[in-house]
């Protein structure tokens, strides 16, 4: 299973990139399990507040991801 993880604003800045492509993940994978994995590989995430969107909608941690999903880590919103 392949996923794209999109990064924005302060998270993209800390990561030094706007996207983490994740290839050959083992299914099934929940949003919560993906977050655990990302926070293990990128420890800076543990100290940044963010919510997770899946295919452009905010999701709960127990949702199961599908191949090709577009995941996004959204730091605190400040538009307007």
Partner 1 sequence: MTVAPDARKQWHHLTRAPIDVGALTAQVADVEAGAICTFLGTARRHSEGKEVNLLRYEAYPEMADRVIAEIVAAAQARFAGAKVAVMHRLGDCPLGEASVAVVVAAPHRGEAFAACREVIDTLKTKAPIWKQEEFRDGTAWVGDPGSFQPRRDA
The answer to the question of residue 77 lying near partner 1 (CB under 8 A) is yes
Q: Which of 1, 9, 33, 35 binds partner 1 (CB under 8 A)?
A: 9
Binding residue (CB under 8 A) for partner 1 from 3, 52, 71, 72: 72
Q: How far apart are CA 9 and CA 77, in angstroms?
A: 10
Q: Compose the 19-58 pattern: x for residues touching partner 1 by CB under 8 A, - for all others.
A: ----------------------------xxx---x--xx-
Place of tokens 């302060």: 10
> Residue 16 has which token pair?
């030094």
- Is 5:42 a contact under the CB 8 Å cutoff? no
C-alpha span between 33 and 61 (Å, rounded): 8
Q: Which residues bind partner 1 (CB under 8 A)?
A: 6, 8-10, 13-14, 47-49, 53, 56-57, 72, 74-80
């Amino acid at each position: 299973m392949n996923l794209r993880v999109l990064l924005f604003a302060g998270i993209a800045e800390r990561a030094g990139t706007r996207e983490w492509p994740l290839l050959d993940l083992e299914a099934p994978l929940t949003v919560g399990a993906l977050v655990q994995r990302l926070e293990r590989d990128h420890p800076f995430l543990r100290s940044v507040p963010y919510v997770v969107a899946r295919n452009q909608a905010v999701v709960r941690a127990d949702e199961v991801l599908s191949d090709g999903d577009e995941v996004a880590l959204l730091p605190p919103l400040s538009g307007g």
